[in-house]
């Protein structure tokens, strides 16, 4: 029984690790380069978080909640116009954006979904430009 539990745990870990592996993360310097190429930046945090830290210039503010996922996805698709177009998701620390980007990559076949590693916290900590919301 213990061996079965260990095997299931190992398979679960490997599946989860490979799930997140497909989606690309960007560090702050890489995002700076993509910004020069007019990549779409989608800040998925809520209004109170935008007010607290500010936002990356030219980013689109589309709050993500799992309860409104269908509506959120419809808004995202209207924004990017083509599911093959590259875009970057921004969350507080990058974790929520990573999970959402992985979901979009694997379930919706959006192969150019990316996220900012460390999220807006990393952006702010590296003294990058922020505008007030």
101-110 confidence digits (pLDDT tens): 999 999 999 9
Assigned domain for 63 exists? yes
pLDDT band per the 50, 70, 90 thresholds, residue 68: very high
The C-alpha atoms of residue 123 and residue 32 are separated, in whole angstroms, by: 10
Rounded to whole angstroms, what are the CA distances from 100 to 30, 121, 129? 20, 18, 25
Range of the domain at 48: 23-125
pTM tops 0.75 = yes
pLDDT band per the 50, 70, 90 thresholds, residue 21: low
**Which pLDDT value is given to residue 4?**
39
Provide mean pLDDT across the span 1-22.
45
Assigned domain for 118 exists? yes
Assigned domain for 34 exists? yes
CATH number, residue 40: 3.40.250.10
**Which pLDDT value is given to residue 22?**
84
Q: How far apart are the first and last CA of the chain?
A: 55
Assigned domain for 9 exists? no
pLDDT greater at residue 1 or residue 76:
76
- Residue 17 pLDDT > 90: no
pLDDT band per the 50, 70, 90 thresholds, residue 19: very low
- Closest among 124, 123, 104 to 114, alpha carbons compared: 104
The C-alpha atoms of residue 36 and residue 57 are separated, in whole angstroms, by: 12
Q: Fill in the DSSP letter of residue 99.
A: H
As a whole number, the mean pLDDT across the chain is 88
Q: How many structural domains comprise the chain?
A: 1
Assigned domain for 15 exists? no
Assigned domain for 1 exists? no
């Amino acid at each position: 029984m213990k061996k079965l539990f260990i095997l299931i745990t190992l398979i679960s870990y490997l599946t989860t690790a490979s799930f997140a592996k497909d989606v690309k993360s960007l560090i702050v310097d890489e995002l700076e380069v993509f910004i020069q190429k007019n990549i779409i930046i989608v800040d998925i945090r809520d209004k109170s978080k935008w007010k607290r830290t500010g936002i990356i210039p030219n980013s689109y503010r589309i709050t993500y909640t799992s309860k409104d996922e269908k509506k959120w996805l419809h808004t995202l698709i209207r924004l990017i116009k083509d599911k093959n177009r590259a875009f970057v998701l921004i969350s507080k620390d990058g974790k929520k954006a990573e999970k959402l980007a992985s979901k979009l990559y694997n379930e919706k076949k959006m192969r150019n979904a990316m996220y900012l590693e460390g999220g807006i916290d990393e952006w702010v900590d590296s003294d990058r430009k922020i505008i007030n919301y």
